[in-house]
C-alpha cells in the first residue's frame, strides 16, 4: 500500500472558472522524509536533508497576484483516496444509476480503500464485487452503461486492465461511433497505476500510453486530493467514457479541500506554478518531482512555470500554448516510457501547433524503456528524478 509521500502543491488555475477556492500551501521538503504539510502553515518534519535557504519561502505558489481567500480555514482535510471516495459517494447519492464494479470493491472496501464503506451503505449490487475476469466485467460495465446505468469500473491495478483492452478499445471507445450515436457509454474506468515502491514490473505499468490512441475515450490523471475529487465527479457526470488514472504512491497525500461541491473540467490543465523561463509540463506523481526540482531551480535563479496537464487525452492546447508563447522553452516530465508515451504525443502536438514560438527543441524526460526492476536502486533510475529535471532545465535555458 502507498505510504505517506510528499506534501502537496497548490492548485491554482486562473483560466478555469470551475475552481472556486484557492488553496495555498507551503512547498514540501526533500523526499525520504515523512512530511505533513498542514494548511494552517504548521509543518511537521521528521528529517530535514537540505540546509535551509534564505529564499525558501519565496516560491510559495500563491506568489501569483491572486486574492487570498479569507476563509482559508474552511474546508476539510483529507487524504487523496478519501477525496476520491467522497467524490464517488456524492455522485452515488446524487444519481441512483451510478454503480461501482470491480474486484474487492465491496466487502473489502477496495484495495486502496477508495470504496470503503460504500457497500454497507448502498448494497452489494450497487457496489459489486466481481470475480477476477477483467475483460468480462469491463464489458459488463459497458453493456450496463449502454442500457442506462452509469458504472465505474475499478481496475485493482491499472495493469490488470490490459486484460480488458479488447473491451476498452472496441466497445468502450468505438461503440458510440459504430452505432451511429445511438448508444452512449457513460462509463468511468479507474485505478492506480505507475511505478510504486518495488512492486515489480507488472504492477508498475503506465497504461496511459497504451490507451491514448483509442478513439472515443478521454483520459485524465489526478494528482492532488482537490483535483482527484473534482475529476472523479466530472468523469462520472460526463457522457463520454473516461479513464481516470490514479497513482499508487499518491493515495495518502493530504490536502484541505472545500466543503462546498465542485466539479472540475475534464479537458483543462492546471497551473501549478506560474513562471517566466521555462514551461514544465507534467502529470500525476511526476508533478511532485517537478515541484521539488523547482525549489532547487528557484534557488539557482530560474523561474519555471509548472503545468499539471491533467487531461492526457485530449491535451489542453490553450493552457499549454499560452505558456509556450510566454516562456518559449518546454520541458516535459512524465512517468511513461520513452517510446510512444504521453510525452511523445505531447511533443508532437506542441511542435505541430507552437513551433514558431519555441526557442529550443522540446526536451522530454520519461522513464527508461525498461521493465520496472524490483531492486530499489534500479527502480529509482528508471524513473525521472528531480536532479535530472534540474539539469534539463539548466541545459534548456542556456
Partner 1 sequence: MSLSATKFVHPITTPPTSRSSDKPLFSTFFGSNHTKLRFNKPIVAAQRRSSSAASTSFSPVVAVSSDVVKEKKLKSASNLLITKEEGLVLYEDMILGRFFEDMCAQMYYRGKMFGFVHLYNGQEAVSTGFIKLLKKEDYVVSTYRDHVHALSKGVPAREVMSELFGKATGCCRGQGGSMHMFSKEYNLLGGFAFIGEGIPVATGAAFSSKYRREVLKEPGADEVTLAFFGDGTCNNGQFYECLNMAALWKLPIVFVVENNLWAIGMSHLRATSDPQIWKKGPAFGMPGVHVDGMDVLKVREVAKEAIERARRGEGPTLVECETYRFRGHSLADPDELRDPAEKAHYAGRDPITAFKKYLFDNKLASEQELKAIDKKIDELLDDAVEFADESPLPPRSQLLENVFADPKGFGIGADGKYRCEDPKFTQGTAHV
Distance CA 186, CA 243 (A): 11
Q: Residue 181, interface with partner 1 (CB under 8 A)? A: yes
Distance CA 322, CA 341 (A): 23
Distance CA 386, CA 368 (A): 15
Residue with Cβ nearer partner 1 (147 or 377): 147
In whole angstroms, the minimum distance from the beta carbon of 247 to partner 1 comes to 22
Pick from 14, 215, 361, 376 the residue near partner 1 by CB under 8 A: 215
Pick from 243, 266, 298, 365 the residue near partner 1 by CB under 8 A: 266
Residue 113 in grid coordinates: 480503500
Contacts of 94 (CB under 8 A, 6+ apart): none
Pick from 33, 317, 358, 360 the residue near partner 1 by CB under 8 A: 317
In whole angstroms, the minimum distance from the beta carbon of 3 to partner 1 comes to 35
Residue 171 in grid coordinates: 466497445
In whole angstroms, the minimum distance from the beta carbon of 217 to partner 1 comes to 8
In whole angstroms, the minimum distance from the beta carbon of 322 to partner 1 comes to 8
Residue with Cβ nearer partner 1 (33 or 174): 174
Q: Residue 218, interface with partner 1 (CB under 8 A)? A: yes
Set 6, 37, 176, 203: catalytic member:
203
Residue 317 in grid coordinates: 492546447
Pick from 38, 60, 198, 216 the residue near partner 1 by CB under 8 A: 216
Pick from 316, 334, 335, 379 the residue near partner 1 by CB under 8 A: 316
Q: Does the annotation count 277 as an active-site position?
A: no
Q: Residue 178, interface with partner 1 (CB under 8 A)? A: yes
Q: Which residue stretch of 70-78, 255-263, 311-319, 334-342 sits at the interface with partner 1 (rule: CB under 8 A)? A: 311-319
Site for partner 1 in 27-86 (CB under 8 A): none
3-state helix vs strand vs coil in the chain, percent to 5: 35, 20, 45
294, HSE (Cβ side, Cα atoms, 13 Å): 32
In whole angstroms, the minimum distance from the beta carbon of 147 to partner 1 comes to 4
Q: Does the annotation count 69 as an active-site position?
A: no
Set 29, 86, 91, 134: catalytic member:
134
Pick from 38, 97, 116, 328 the residue near partner 1 by CB under 8 A: 97
Residue with Cβ nearer partner 1 (177 or 374): 177
Residue with Cβ nearer partner 1 (266 or 278): 266
Q: Which residue stretch of 19-27, 46-54, 95-103, 385-393 sits at the interface with partner 1 (rule: CB under 8 A)? A: 95-103
Q: Residue 180, interface with partner 1 (CB under 8 A)? A: yes
Distance CA 57, CA 55 (A): 5
Q: Judging by beta carbons within 10 Å of its beta carbon (0-12, 13-18, 19+), is residue 356 exposed, middle or buried?
A: exposed
Q: Answer yes or no: are the C-beta atoms of 219 and 313 closer than 8 Å.
A: yes
Q: Residue 179, interface with partner 1 (CB under 8 A)? A: yes
In whole angstroms, the minimum distance from the beta carbon of 14 to partner 1 comes to 13
Q: Residue 268, interface with partner 1 (CB under 8 A)? A: yes
Rounded to whole angstroms, what are the CA distances from 167 to 125, 132, 154, 170, 173?
A: 22, 15, 14, 5, 8
Pick from 183, 201, 262, 338 the residue near partner 1 by CB under 8 A: 183
Rounded to whole angstroms, what are the CA distances from 15 to 40, 270, 308, 322?
A: 26, 9, 13, 11
Q: Answer yes or no: are the C-beta atoms of 332 and 364 closer than 8 Å.
A: yes
Site for partner 1 in 119-158 (CB under 8 A): 123, 125-126, 130-131, 133, 135-149
Q: Residue 182, interface with partner 1 (CB under 8 A)? A: yes
Distance CA 232, CA 242 (A): 10
The residue among 376, 396, 326 whose CA lies nearest residue 31 is 376
Distance CA 276, CA 283 (A): 20
Alpha helix ranges (H) inside 205-341: 208-211, 225-237, 286-299, 317-327
Q: For the chain, what's the residue count?
A: 398
Residue with Cβ nearer partner 1 (135 or 198): 135
For the annotated catalytic residues, the residue numbers are 134, 203
Instruction: Name the residues that contact partner 1, by CB under 8 A.
Output: 96-97, 99, 123, 125-126, 130-131, 133, 135-149, 166-167, 170-171, 175-186, 215-216, 218, 238-240, 266-268, 311, 313-319, 321, 353-354
Amino acid at each position: 500500500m502507498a505510504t505517506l509521500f510528499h506534501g502537496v502543491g497548490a492548485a491554482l488555475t486562473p483560466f478555469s472558472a470551475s475552481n472556486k477556492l484557492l488553496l495555498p500551501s507551503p512547498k514540501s521538503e526533500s523526499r525520504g522524509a515523512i512530511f505533513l504539510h498542514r494548511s494552517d502553515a504548521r509543518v511537521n518534519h521528521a528529517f530535514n536533508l537540505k540546509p535551509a535557504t534564505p529564499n525558501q519561502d519565496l516560491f510559495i505558489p500563491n506568489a501569483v497576484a491572486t486574492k487570498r481567500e479569507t476563509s482559508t480555514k474552511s474546508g476539510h482535510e483529507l487524504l487523496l483516496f478519501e477525496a476520491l471516495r467522497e467524490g464517488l459517494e456524492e455522485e452515488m447519492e446524487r444519481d441512483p444509476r451510478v454503480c461501482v464494479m470491480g474486484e474487492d470493491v465491496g466487502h473489502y472496501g477496495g484495495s486502496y480503500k477508495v470504496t470503503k464503506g460504500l457497500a454497507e451503505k448502498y448494497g452489494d449490487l450497487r457496489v459489486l464485487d466481481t470475480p477476477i475476469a477483467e475483460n468480462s466485467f469491463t464489458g459488463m460495465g459497458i453493456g450496463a452503461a449502454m442500457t442506462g446505468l452509469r458504472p465505474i469500473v475499478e481496475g485493482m491495478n491499472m495493469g490488470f486492465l490490459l486484460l480488458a483492452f479488447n473491451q476498452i478499445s472496441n466497445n468502450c471507445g468505438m461503440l458510440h461511433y459504430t452505432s451511429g450515436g445511438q448508444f452512449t457509454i457513460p462509463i468511468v474506468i479507474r485505478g492506480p497505476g505507475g511505478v510504486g515502491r518495488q512492486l515489480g514490473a507488472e504492477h508498475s505499468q503506465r497504461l496511459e500510453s497504451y490507451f491514448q490512441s483509442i478513439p472515443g475515450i478521454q483520459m485524465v490523471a489526478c494528482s492532488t486530493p482537490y483535483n482527484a475529487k473534482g475529476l472523479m465527479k466530472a468523469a462520472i457526470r460526463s457522457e463520454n467514457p473516461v479513464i481516470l488514472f490514479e497513482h499508487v504512491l499518491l493515495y495518502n497525500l493530504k490536502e484541505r479541500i472545500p466543503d462546498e461541491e465542485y466539479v472540475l473540467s475534464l479537458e483543462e490543465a492546471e497551473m501549478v506554478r506560474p513562471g517566466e523561463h521555462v514551461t514544465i509540463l507534467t502529470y500525476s506523481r511526476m508533478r511532485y518531482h517537478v515541484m521539488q526540482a523547482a525549489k532547487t531551480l528557484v534557488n539557482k535563479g530560474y523561474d519555471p512555470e509548472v503545468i499539471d496537464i491533467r487531461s492526457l487525452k485530449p491535451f489542453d492546447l490553450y493552457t499549454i500554448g499560452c505558456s509556450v508563447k510566454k516562456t518559449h522553452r518546454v520541458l516535459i516530465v512524465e512517468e511513461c516510457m520513452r517510446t510512444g508515451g504521453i510525452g511523445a504525443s505531447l511533443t508532437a502536438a506542441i511542435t505541430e501547433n507552437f513551433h514558431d514560438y519555441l526557442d529550443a527543441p522540446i526536451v522530454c524526460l520519461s522513464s527508461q524503456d525498461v521493465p520496472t526492476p524490483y531492486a530499489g536502486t534500479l527502480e529509482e533510475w528508471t524513473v525521472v528524478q528531480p536532479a535530472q529535471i534540474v539539469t534539463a532545465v539548466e541545459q534548456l535555458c542556456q
